[in-house]
Amino acid sequence: MVSGDNNDRKLANVGPPYSLLIPDSSKSPNRQEARYCLSMKISEDEPRLFSSQAHIDERGSLFSLEFPNFPMRRFYYIQSSQKNAKRGFHAHKQLTQIFIPLVGSWKINLQKRESSREYILVAGQNYLQLPPGYWREFESLEEASVLGVLADDIFREEDYIRDFNDFKKWEEINDSVL
């Protein structure tokens, strides 16, 4: 049982990365008033790939992304000038980001410790949440691709690790602290 300000709620797991908060109907005077809320479980140290929700009709498309537990402090976007343009080549010590392909598609290569991962992000299909501590490299897979980025803090140069060898040293220091 999870306690809340309004009513007690039960936490029902409906599959990763979501959980359903269900108000305890015995505490509610009217069961019809019970509201259901879908909240994202946020992993603090693993990248998470999410699917976009599309609402399409004759007028066009509306894509919906919700981040109820993400404190956005900054938004920026990267626009490629050509296919296979590469960006990134850095890591963050504390910054968490959400990468949203707005136009085209992107390949995201991540490295942490001795493992590497690759994600393909496609506009209107998916997006990626990336916690701190990952070396990242981006590659546009189409001409004029645009990648939107939400960040949980403002720009701080001291949060960046821009040299891969410095990143490996930073990982060793932080692994020994854990």
Catalytic residues: 90
DSSP class per residue in the chain: -B--SSS-EEEEE-STTEEEEEE-TTT-S-GGG---EEEEPPPSSS-EEEEPEEEEETTEEEEE---TT----EEEEEE-SSTT-EEEEEEESS--EEEEEEESEEEEEEEETTEEEEEEEETTTEEEEE-SS-EEEEEESSTT-EEEEEESS---GGGEE-SHHHHHHHHHHHHHH-
